[in-house]
Amino acid sequence: MSTDKKNANGQAPKHALQSQPPPPRPSRRWYWKLLATAICLSFVAYHVTTQPEHVSPQTYALCSKEGQRIYTVDENNTSVECIVVHGARIADSGDLKYVLERAENTTGLSSIPVRYAPKGSIVLPGLSDSHCHILEYGASRQIPLSEGKTMKETVTFVREYIKANPDIEGDKSRFIEGWGWDHASWDVEEMPSSEDLEADSAIAGRPVILQSRDGHAIWVSKRTLEHNAPYPDTVEGGVIMRDEVGNPTGVFVDSAQDLITRPVLSTEDLERRFRRTVQDAHAVGLVSLHDAGLKPESLAFFKRQSEKGPLPLRIYGMTYFDEYGSYWGDSVSPFAGAADERLSARSVKIFADGALRTGGAALWEPYSDNPSTNGVMRISAEVLNKVIPRFLKDGWQVNVHAIGDRANAIVLDAFEHALKGVNVSALRPRLEHAQILTKSDMVRLGKLGVIASIQPTHVISDMWYAQDRLGPERVKELYAFRGILDSGARITLGSDFPVDEINPLKGFYAAITRVSTDGTSPHGPNGWFPDQRLTRLEALRGMTIDPAYASFTEQSLGSLIPGKRADYVILSQDIMSVALDKIMDTKVLATALDGHVVYGRL
Ligand SMILES: *[C@@H]1O[C@H](CO)[C@@H](O)[C@H](O)[C@H]1NC(C)=O
Ligand SMILES: *[C@@H]1O[C@H](CO)[C@@H](O)[C@H](O)[C@H]1NC(C)=O
Ligand SMILES: *[C@@H]1O[C@H](CO)[C@@H](O)[C@H](O)[C@H]1NC(C)=O
Ligand SMILES: *[C@@H]1O[C@H](CO)[C@@H](O)[C@H](O)[C@H]1NC(C)=O
């Protein structure tokens, strides 16, 4: 019935492990314990919201000397010469003369300093990523596994990490976790094994867990393998890789990953990961991140951090729902806007199917290059129909990972049912990925008012193999962004980092060109299915005001209009007009959150 089950004897799934979602699933052994912690900590959130707003004393006008180069992304897509920042918010906007005349009225100060954006630059609202994995990204940057060109080199990176961290080197019991290996990009495409890690003297004997780039598999060391033994013969929805005589080799695919107990991370580990993500996010202009699979321990960590001081960016969390666990929507309270609108956890993330590259996306018809399967539903229609209305009723936004046309249809059925007679703009359900939709489901998406949360960089990652997988007709329904918009549906853009790159400019570029960064595509330099390109304005809105709407924050975030928070980014050149092949040369000159520059300078 399912590819995964078929492969439960230990054969690699046909298109094993390349780019694409879901994030690793938290070990269920820890899940409930940590959920309990999260429940306790949710009381803390109420406390945090009652603290006074973090107000910057500063007031200034931010202006362009070259005319209206501040893109406000208001409802009329207006550009202005200046915005006035007063404390954490925007007090006014317009021409320099106009805002200075009004300064006393808008800020209470008779004169305000004027800061100019550098020559050639533009100002945009601070950018958002609507679908990403915050701490997992930080983990992925610690050991550069994704850069390994061979299995040996990948192992060497683990060795170097140990050598570079004396505290870890000196303590053989310390867990080593990495993310990002991709055997499909090695010189020889073969599955690694625990022996490959054991062969390195610096690694031998240590507990190691290395997550694959797409999050669909883990590669563990001998010690970890032994520690978690014995193993069942088969696992539903997963694969235990085995050698010729049937012994596990140290690679666990999909739900078999849950057989390996994850270490409980120390606060220092989590802080190190978070710092890294924050640093990289600010450097690419991101201020607002929708975490698409918040684990209870991650949420608890973010809450602890926000008590120490303002979080360095805005986190909008989708709490992971375990389809094998029980319903928790009535025992945990959703919360929004805590800690100066920097922390919210008011949505739930449900997985409907797997990923296209690995053959896990649930399709109506079999895969064109593997007719023995049409993918796997991770959750039944029955469970979806049961939990979606409950979560909505209990105040949760429901965001469902759906990639294949069958998965999207089944989820839309459930939404259609759950949304009967209710106000959809009060609930704003989302399809995460919404990759392959039949024409009629696109129409349904628009009619229902369900938001399509899409990842343009996946287009240029996947366009090279997609037609093999789907065939010449069905492939037209993959990443059909124009079709989705024409159906009247709302979109919101993300990258799925660390699955794809964190840089939102790459998503902007991919959305409007549908060519890779070297200017090529399977359909030539004009783009892969160029009719499906977004306009620059659509892409800009998809990274600013649309994510604000998709996270219920359009009243305070996502555009540079008076009353909203002063989150902005200054780019070195005008991405709204520069030649397409120059877009990727754009530099982020400054990123500001609540009026404070957190990266670069002004
Ligand atoms: C947008 O344009 C319309 C028509 O000119 C105008 O009525 C409306 O006030 C404008 N909205 C904003 C926010 O400026
Ligand atoms: C602003 O831009 C978006 C995206 O192109 C467009 O749909 C919308 O109609 C524009 N708004 C106005 C008032 O022109
Ligand atoms: C400032 O506000 C006062 C009182 O509302 C008003 O009379 C005056 O015209 C305003 N000044 C400017 C420059 O808008
Ligand atoms: C639907 O919900 C939105 C957002 O909460 C609200 O602004 C709107 O007034 C509601 N519409 C109706 C008909 O209740």
Q: DSSP of 247-307, one letter per residue?
A: -EEEEEEEGGGGGSPPPPPPHHHHHHHHHHHHHHHHHTTEEEEEEEEE-HHHHHHHHHHHH
What pLDDT band is residue 214 in, cutting at 50, 70 and 90?
A: confident
Q: Coil, strand or helix: which one is 349? A: strand
Whole-number Å distance, alpha carbon 105 to ligand 3 midpoint, is 6
| Residues in contact with ligand 1 (CB, 6 Å cut-off) | 74-76
The pLDDT confidence band at residue 185, using thresholds 50, 70 and 90, is confident
Per-residue pLDDT for 42 more than 60? no
CATH code of 29-126+566-602, in short, is: 2.30.40.10
Q: Tell whether the model's pLDDT for residue 22 goes beyond 50.
A: no
Report which bound ligand comes closest to the CA of 534.
2
CA distance 216 to 219: 10
- What's the confidence (pLDDT) of residue 10? 34
At residue 395, the pLDDT reads: 96
Cα 410 to middle of ligand 4, angstroms: 27
- Is the per-residue pLDDT at 18 higher than 50? no
> What architecture does CATH give domain 267-565?
Alpha-Beta Barrel (3.20)
Query: Residue 40 pLDDT more than 50?
Result: no
Task: Quote the Cα angle for 544-125-453, to 5°.
Answer: 10
- What pLDDT shows up at residue 13? 35
Mean pLDDT, residues 532-538: 98
Q: Are 63 and 116 in contact (CB under 8 A)?
A: yes
Percentage of residues of the chain with pLDDT beyond 90: 78
Measuring from each residue's beta carbon to the nearest atom of ligand 3, which residues come in under 6 Å? 101-102, 105
Ligand 4 contact via 421 beta carbon (within 6 Å): no
The whole-number pLDDT of residue 323 equals 84
- Residue 155 is given by DSSP the state H
Lowest model confidence (mean pLDDT) among 32-46, 60-74, 355-369: 32-46
Which ligand approaches the C-alpha of residue 100 most closely?
Answer: 3
**Nearest residue (CA) to ligand 3, atom 3:** 105
pLDDT at 445: 97
| Distance in Å, CA 73 to ligand 1 centroid | 12
pLDDT at 403 over 60: yes
- Bigger pLDDT: 146 or 248? 248
- Given this model, what pLDDT does residue 63 score? 98
Q: Which of 96, 99, 105 is the best mutation target for the ligand 3 pocket, counting ligand atoms within 8 Å of the beta carbon and taking the most?
A: 105
Q: Is the pLDDT of residue 54 over 50?
A: no
pLDDT of residue 57: 66
Q: Is the pLDDT of residue 137 over 90?
A: yes
Mean pLDDT of 508-513: 98
Is residue 426 lining ligand 4, measured as CB closer than 6 Å?
yes
* Closest CA to ligand 1's atom 5: 76
Percent of the chain at pLDDT > 70 equals 91
**How many angstroms separate the CA atoms of 139 and 462, rounded?**
24
Q: Residue count of the chain, please give it.
A: 602
3-state secondary structure of 482: helix
Q: Measuring from atom 8 of ligand 1, which residue has the nearest CA?
A: 76
Instruction: Give the distance (Å) from ligand 4 centre to CA of residue 335.
Output: 19
Amino acid at 438: T
CATH code of the region 135-259: 3.10.310.70
pLDDT at 47: 34
Query: Beta-carbon neighbour count of residue 432 at 10 Å?
Result: 31
Section 195-224 average pLDDT: 94
Q: Give the mean pLDDT of 23-38.
A: 40
Query: Cα dist. 281→135, 284, 289, 312 in Å?
Result: 12, 5, 9, 10
Tell whether the model's pLDDT for residue 119 goes beyond 60.
Answer: yes
Which listed ligand is nearest to 491 at the C-alpha? 2
Q: Which two tokens stand for residue 193?
A: 């094994």
CA of 124 to the centre of ligand 3 (A): 29
Predicted confidence (pLDDT) per residue in 559-596, tens digit: 999 999 999 999 999 999 999 999 999 999 999 999 99
Query: Residue 235 pLDDT more than 50?
Result: yes
**Residue nearest atom 4 in ligand 1 by C-alpha distance:** 76
Ligand 1, from 68, 74, 76: best to mutate by most atoms within 8 Å of Cβ? Answer: 76
Please give the Cα distance from 565 to 545 (Å, whole number).
13
pLDDT band at 547 (very low <50, low <70, confident <90, very high): very high
CB 246 within 8 A of CB 238: no
User: Which atom of ligand 1 is found nearest the CA of 76?
Assistant: 1
Residue pLDDT, tens place only, 258-289:
999 988 888 988 999 999 999 999 999 999 99
- Can you tell me which residue has the tokens 């040369």? 585
Q: Which has the higher per-residue pLDDT, 97 or 34?
A: 97
pLDDT (average), residues 52-78: 86
Mean pLDDT value across the chain: 90
Quote the ligand 1 centre to 383 CA distance (angstroms): 45
pLDDT at 597: 96
CA of 424 to the centre of ligand 4 (A): 8
CB atoms within 10 A of CB 279: 14
The whole model's pTM is what? 0.87
Identify which has the larger pLDDT, 254 or 163: 163
Domain boundaries, the chain: 29-126+566-602, 135-259, 267-565
Higher pLDDT, 263 or 334: 334
Q: What is the pLDDT of residue 236?
A: 79
Cα of 425 vs centre of ligand 4, distance in Å, is: 6
- 389 has pLDDT over 60: yes
- Please tell me the distance from the alpha carbon of residue 504 to that of residue 221, in angstroms, as a whole number: 35
Query: pLDDT tens, 477-488?
Result: 999 999 999 999
